[in-house]
């Protein structure tokens, strides 16, 4: 066992590095929960630009667009419309906080199933929406759904994966988010031509929900969660299944029982425990990582790409194609992360991705400033538009192998068992809260700051890259139950964790 050190394959723990067919299938099935979050991200951007949808639910947006002599940065600046999109994030925020209780009480797997069913109900209501009330109710249910699945899935993956390859397995979640985004973009491309297209786009969200819910029903819960809930026999079975029937799982089981006993002996409310001084480093990461992820500006780029290409006269179709290209690049780059994250580590990817995204954001700002002018009313030539697309793709690749998957991975792997669900909940809540604030503000920011918006995000990327370099310890290959060692060795965080009773 590698307690206190960085080696994974100490005597007695070699099984922890073994990849079995069963663990691969289990993790792919669990990771597919990312589909529903991705589908929603991809579908809502497109639907809110469909004229029949706006005509039925938000006629004022259409009136404003017709009257305004807008520059290209201000075309979609409507608070009402963004509040439709972001209502999901508020609901998700509340649900993710409740989800830590639910995952602790009924397990990771069951929480994923509940999330899938709630999302399914929301999708059905949205597809059949006859008025705004139904639309909002549907979105709230979708939000509850992703609040649950985004909380439970990364924890599930980190607990089930062999520690040596935990990073790779965990990137599966972001991979499925990206598949959901691309699928939704393609569907929007097909449905945008029809008056009822928005209904189909929204209603089809039941498909990813059915896929992931059915999958989740077929997998067993994580050994940690089963031990925590006193189901020792089932925990052993689950371990044998994922580690291989010939594996010696006794050591790992004993370690889980030990962690669970420590957790039970604490008798404290996890939301109180997590604020103890010894967990300060963990808490800071659970808040900072998702906060920074949103400040990379990924959702702004994703939203802005079609608007930009439309405004330079590429037409509606090519605008959506630009979005699909971006989505595909993002998808491919996550696979790079899958192969690199456990070999070169999390920090390497954060650094490389950060520098790449920073350069691209600054370059996009420069090209836009030079070509469209400060007012944003001059037209940018197709050649420059293609250059901007290339820069945005390079940016999306940087995000896809760094902040995209790693923002789900880090919070799910740094906490001790007793506060792991709580830490992940806080992290998801911060992700949703930041997405909400940014989506409420970025359209007016784009309208006022114009190309400066990209410099704003570039500045944040510089800050977060320095933050990671200084404060994030490397967690590659370390078993979850030995994770305390990384803080004890860290030049800054060790003062918080040293001399604390064992957790
Ligand atoms: C982020 C989302 C983003 C998506 C893009 C996720 O990790 O949390 O905000 O839209 O990646 O693929």
- Is the CB of 298 inside a 6 Å radius of any atom of ligand 1? yes
The protein residue whose alpha carbon is closest to atom 6 in ligand 1 is 404
Contact 329, 321 (CB under 8 A): no
Q: DSSP letter at 419?
A: G
pLDDT of residue 71: 62
Q: Which helix (H) or strand (E) holds 381?
A: none
Q: How far is the CA of 403 from the centre of ligand 1 (A)?
A: 9
Q: For the segment 376-401, what is each residue's pLDDT rounded down to a tens digit?
A: 666 677 788 889 889 999 999 999 99
Q: Please list, residue by residue across 346-357, b when 16 or more beta carbons sit within 10 angstroms of its beta carbon and e when fewer do.
A: bbebbbbbbebb
pLDDT of residue 232: 93
- Is the CB of 435 inside a 6 Å radius of any atom of ligand 1? yes
- Is the CB of 406 inside a 6 Å radius of any atom of ligand 1? no
Q: Over pLDDT 90: what percentage of the chain? A: 66
Q: Which of 34, 35, 45, 177 to mutate to test the pocket of ligand 1 (most atoms within 8 A of CB)?
A: 177
Q: For the segment 9-33, what is each residue's pLDDT rounded down to a tens digit?
A: 333 344 456 889 999 999 999 999 9
Ligand 1 nearest atom to the CA of residue 330, by list position: 12
- Is the CB of 177 inside a 6 Å radius of any atom of ligand 1? yes
- State the Cα–Cα distance between residues 157 and 352, nearest whole angstrom: 25
Distance spanning both ends of the chain, measured CA to CA: 17
Contact 218, 225 (CB under 8 A): no
Q: Which of 42, 149, 398, 404 to mutate to test the pocket of ligand 1 (most atoms within 8 A of CB)?
A: 404
- Is the CB of 174 inside a 6 Å radius of any atom of ligand 1? yes
* DSSP string of 177-228, one letter each residue: HHHHHHHHHHHHHHHTTSTTHHHHHHHTTHHHHHHHHHHHHHSPPPHHHHHH
pLDDT of residue 371: 85
Establish how many alpha carbons lie within 13 A of residue 170's alpha carbon, considering only the half-sphere containing its beta carbon. 33
Q: How far is the CA of 147 from the centre of ligand 1 (A)?
A: 14
- State the Cα–Cα distance between residues 432 and 428, nearest whole angstrom: 6
Q: For the segment 101-142, what is each residue's pLDDT rounded down to a tens digit?
A: 999 999 999 999 999 999 999 999 999 999 989 999 999 999
pLDDT of residue 247: 82
75 pLDDT exceeds 80? no
Q: For the segment 344-379, what is each residue's pLDDT rounded down to a tens digit?
A: 999 999 999 999 999 999 999 999 888 876 666 666
């Amino acid at each position: 066992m590698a307690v206190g050190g960085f080696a994974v394959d100490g005597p007695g723990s070699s099984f922890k590095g073994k990849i079995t067919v069963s663990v691969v299938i289990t993790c792919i099935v669990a990771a597919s929960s990312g589909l529903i979050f991705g589908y929603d991200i991809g579908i809502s951007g497109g639907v809110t630009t469909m004229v029949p949808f706006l005509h039925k639910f938000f006629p004022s947006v259409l009136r404003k667009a017709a009257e305004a002599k807008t520059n290209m940065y201000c075309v979609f600046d409507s608070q009402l419309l963004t509040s439709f999109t972001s209502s999901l994030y508020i609901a998700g925020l509340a649900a993710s906080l409740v989800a830590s209780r639910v995952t602790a009480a009924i397990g990771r797997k069951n929480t994923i199933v509940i999330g899938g069913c709630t999302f399914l109900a929301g999708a059905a209501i949205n597809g059949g929406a006859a008025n705004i009330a139904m639309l909002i109710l549907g979105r709230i249910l979708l939000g509850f759904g992703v609040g649950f699945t985004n909380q439970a899935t990364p924890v599930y993956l980190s607990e089930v994966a062999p520690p040596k390859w935990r990073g790779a397995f965990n990137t599966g979640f972001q991979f499925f988010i990206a598949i959901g985004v691309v699928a939704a973009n393609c569907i929007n491309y097909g449905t945008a031509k029809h008056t009822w297209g928005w209904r189909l786009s929204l209603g089809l969200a039941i498909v990813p929900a059915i896929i992931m819910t059915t999958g989740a029903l077929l997998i067993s819960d994580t050994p940690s969660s089963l031990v925590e809930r006193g189901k020792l026999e089932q925990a052993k079975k689950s371990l044998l299944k994922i580690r291989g029937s010939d594996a010696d799982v006794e050591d790992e089981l004993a370690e889980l029982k030990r962690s669970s006993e420590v957790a039970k002996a604490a008798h404290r409310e996890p939301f109180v425990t997590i604020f103890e001084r010894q967990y300060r480093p963990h808490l800071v990461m659970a808040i900072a990582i998702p906060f920074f992820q949103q400040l990379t500006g990924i959702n702004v780029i994703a939203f802005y790409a079609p608007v930009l290409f439309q405004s330079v006269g590429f037409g509606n179709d090519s605008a959506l194609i630009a979005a699909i290209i971006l989505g595909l690049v993002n998808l491919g780059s996550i696979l790079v992360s899958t192969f690199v994250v456990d070999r070169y580590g999390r920090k390497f990817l954060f650094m490389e991705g950060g520098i790449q995204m920073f350069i691209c954001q600054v370059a996009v700002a420069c090209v836009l400033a030079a070509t469209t002018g400060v007012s944003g009313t001059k037209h940018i030539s197709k050649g420059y538009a293609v250059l901007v697309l290339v820069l945005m793709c390079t940016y999306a690749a940087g995000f896809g192998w760094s902040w995209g998957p790693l923002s789900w991975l880090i919070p799910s792997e740094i906490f001790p068992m007793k506060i792991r669900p709580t830490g992940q909940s806080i992290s998801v809540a911060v992700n949703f809260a930041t997405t909400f604030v940014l989506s409420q503000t970025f359209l007016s920011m784009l309208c006022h700051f114009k190309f400066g918006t990209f410099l704003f995000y570039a500045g944040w990327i510089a800050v977060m890259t320095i933050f990671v370099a200084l404060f994030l310890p490397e967690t590659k290959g370390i078993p979850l139950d030995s994770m305390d060692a990384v803080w004890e060795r860290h030049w800054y965080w060790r003062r918080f964790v040293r001399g604390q009773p064992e957790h």
